[in-house]
Amino acid sequence: MNNVSAIFKGDKIIWGMIFLLSVVSLLAVYSSTGTLAFRYQEGNLLYYLFRHGGLLLLGILIILVFQNIPVSLYNRLSFLLILLTIPLLIYTLLKGTSLNEASRWITLPGTSISFQSSDFAKFSLIVYISKFLAKYQQGDSLPTFKKDFRLMMITLFLTCGLILPANFSTAALLFFSSIMLLFLGRLKWKYILTILAIGVVGIMLFIGTALLFFPDKGRVSTWKNRIEVYLNKSKADSDDVYQIEQSKIAIASGGFFGKGPGNSTQRNFLPHPYSDFIFAIIIEEYGFIGAMFIMLCYLILLYRVGVIVRFSPKAFQALLAIGLIILLVLQAMINMGVATGIFPVTGQTLPLVSMGGTSIIFTGVSLGIIINISHQLKVEKTVENNESDVNKPSEEQNQHSKNETT
């Protein structure tokens, strides 16, 4: 038991949620990739299961590695991470691998390995903002605050702005996660409202310019169709509402207890049932109970990180942990909202559940850092308790002191 605790450090409840979501992921991906297997792997149903299982194992190994890296290292490297992020995003935008008319991927030269630079950007920006907030908990009473605030604001807009043309939903997710982190970091309202105002104006100008000059090109046409479908489904073409209709059919047919594992029928009709719409497949097979279970897992993760943050004595660690979990849980809620028709269609995956490579890797990095912070908090408490026991007088010393007084 001690050997297991030495390997899987930190908060055991967080580890429990990771393993539960991973098991659900394996079941859901195996069930939802049947059509994909017959189309590209000659009916080999185990191909995608083993491939995805390998990625999940890689994600867990990444958690195990990052749970041992000192958190202070990210504090020192925060600016370097941003310096790497900006060129990567520019290169992705100009020379990246295109998928569905969107340049989101970088393919390593000489290999078929590719990754989404936006996932690295999300991590880098959260680290950078956490360092800024930790340094300036007292607001503008420090003389260099406004200078650093302007730099942080420029970094935020530049990072989100470079992601925006190819991936609107990821840019919006990162922007609002950053706003929530700034709020929880006790940044004054006037600064938060300034960022919000500039961000909203910038998005409106971008959308207006895109619709005016490129109304039927690339991602602009896709965004336009998705918003029109979301606002007025009755007037949309059948192709535009197809994804949402198939997702709702899957959810409705699932009922309270679902059809059972592997019994989904909508996996044969629903586009991307193993990634963007995997939540709909889970509801179809496991019903309302399965949906509530998935939501509960993410809420427990959020709660446990909240507990860690509450007792963490170091500002940077607390802010980094809450920033990373907000990004992860908010992405999960968006994915579930899209599947149920609450939000317009986006390309956001369900963390730790959807099939994918880059997403699992950076989710593993985030969870590894969070577990590291929880472990360090546990170690610090143990040290404090030991020091308290050493300094506490023994009963014999107390009795001796009483005798001398008498």
- Whether 140 is in a domain gets the answer yes
Question: What pLDDT is attached to residue 293?
Answer: 96
- pLDDT the model gives residue 406: 46
Structure tokens given for 374? 């929880």
In a domain, 391, yes or no: no
Classify residue 399: in a domain, yes or no: no
Kindly state whether residue 311 falls inside one of the protein's structural domains: yes
Of the candidates 29, 22, 48, 46, the one whose C-alpha atom is nearest the C-alpha of residue 264 is 29
Structural domain count, the chain: 1
At residue 271, the pLDDT reads 84
How would you write the pLDDT of the chain (406 residues) with one tens digit per residue?
A: 567 777 888 899 999 999 999 999 999 999 998 888 888 888 888 999 999 999 999 999 999 999 999 999 999 999 999 999 999 999 888 887 766 555 677 766 665 567 788 999 999 999 999 999 998 875 556 778 888 999 999 999 999 999 988 888 899 999 999 999 999 998 999 999 999 999 999 988 888 887 777 666 666 666 677 777 777 766 555 556 788 888 999 999 999 999 999 888 998 888 889 988 999 999 999 999 999 999 999 999 999 999 999 988 889 999 999 999 999 999 999 999 999 988 888 888 999 999 987 889 999 999 999 999 998 887 766 656 665 555 665 555 555 555 554 4
The reply to whether 372 falls in a domain is: yes
Which domain does 330 fall in, by range? 2-381
Cβ atoms of residues 224 and 215 within 8 Å: yes
**Position 390 in a domain:** no
136 domain-assigned: yes
Q: What is the pLDDT of residue 42?
A: 82
State the pTM of this model: 0.89
Residue 393 forms part of a structural domain: no
